[in-house]
């Protein structure tokens, strides 16, 4: 029986350094279980094999940068805190990969104050959309554009995300400090909570994917409506299959 052990912070930092600087495969001599901060989190028989696979299939290779590693790691940890099975984690990673153009880092919607005012402000060109987003005060459109791993947009969504984050123990007020939606850990919680609770389209991740065990291409394809209708659904499904394969090769499971 495999024994899962926690990895001290200095060992974890060494793993990160090897991703950034070494082209050779990562080798983790003991299985990785949970974040260095100590919560139950996730477990891998060999965490490095996930990244070895991602290098080989060139999604994040042939060399994985520190920011790519940190992005993947942050999303996986957020998923594991919610007890997510392998297909759900794979689809979260695939969504992040697509929405961030492969950087695995939070992004801000392209545009400036004039554009955001036009698109999202109560005094802009789409007041009905502004009301839908909770942007009832002039200036909200420019203050709450899309940010994060997925495009959290509008005062109403920033308010909802704040309540969720506080319930999970985060000391954050995204209404007062919307720029914090760009922090990777916060962006990952928003991604996971939104996918699980149907924030973005009303559909959530268990509508099409199994809570435990792997999923197939068709199931991943149907899951795009969690985020954005059918936009690029086949391409993102293929990403999810690849991430799922990498997670399987690493021996991903939820830690007991």
Q: How far apart are CA 143 and CA 165, in angstroms?
A: 19
Largest CA distance in the chain: 63
* Structure-block tokens of residue 117: 């005012």
Q: Convert the pLDDT of each residue in 73-98 to its tens digit.
A: 999 999 988 899 999 999 999 999 99
Q: What's the whole-number mean pLDDT along residues 184-199?
A: 95
Burial of 73 (0-12, 13-18, 19+ CB in 10 A): buried
pLDDT, position 256:
61
Q: Convert the pLDDT of each residue in 117-153 to its tens digit.
A: 999 999 999 999 999 999 999 999 999 999 999 999 9
Task: Note the residue count of the chain.
Answer: 256
pLDDT, position 29:
32
pLDDT, position 253:
87
- Tracing tokens 């916060």 back to the chain, one arrives at 186
What is the helix, strand, coil percentage profile of the chain, to 5? 50, 5, 45
Asked whether the predicted pLDDT for residue 230 surpasses 90, the reply is: no
pLDDT, position 58:
82
Contact 181, 152 (CB under 8 A): yes
Q: What's the whole-number mean pLDDT along residues 19-42?
A: 41
Q: pLDDT band for position 3 (50/70/90)?
A: very low
Selection from 25-34, 55-64, 199-208, 236-245 with the highest mean pLDDT:
236-245
Pick 72 or 1 by higher pLDDT: 72
Give the CA count within 13 Å in the CB-facing half-sphere of 179.
Answer: 0
The total of other beta-carbon atoms located within 10 Å of residue 50's CB is 25
pLDDT, position 82:
87
């Amino acid at each position: 029986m495999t024994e899962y052990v926690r990895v001290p912070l200095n060992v974890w930092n060494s793993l990160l350094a090897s991703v950034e600087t070494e082209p050779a495969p990562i080798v983790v001599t003991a299985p990785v279980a949970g974040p260095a901060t100590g919560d139950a989190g996730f477990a891998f028989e060999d965490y490095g094999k996930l990244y070895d696979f991602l290098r080989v299939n060139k999604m994040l290779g042939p060399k994985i940068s520190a920011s790519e590693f940190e992005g993947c790691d942050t999303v996986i940890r957020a998923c594991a805190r919610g007890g997510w099975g392998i297909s759900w984690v794979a689809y979260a990673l695939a969504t992040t990969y697509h929405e961030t153009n492969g950087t695995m880092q939070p992004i801000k919607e392209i545009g400036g104050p004039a554009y955001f005012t036009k698109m999202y402000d109560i005094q802009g060109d789409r007041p009905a959309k502004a009301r839908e987003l909770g942007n009832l005060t002039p200036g909200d459109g420019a203050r709450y554009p899309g940010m994060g791993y997925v495009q959290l947009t509008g005062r109403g969504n920033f308010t909802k995300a704040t309540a969720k984050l506080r319930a999970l123990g985060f000391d954050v007020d995204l209404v007062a400090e919307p720029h914090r939606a760009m922090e990777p850990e916060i962006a990952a919680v928003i991604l996971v909570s939104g996918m699980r609770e149907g924030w973005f389209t009303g559909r959530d991740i268990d509508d099409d994917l199994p809570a435990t065990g792997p999923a197939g291409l068709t199931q991943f394809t149907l899951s795009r409506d969690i985020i954005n209708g059918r936009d690029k659904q086949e391409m993102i499904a293929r990403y999810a299959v690849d991430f799922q394969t990498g997670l399987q090769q690493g021996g991903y499971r939820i830690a007991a």
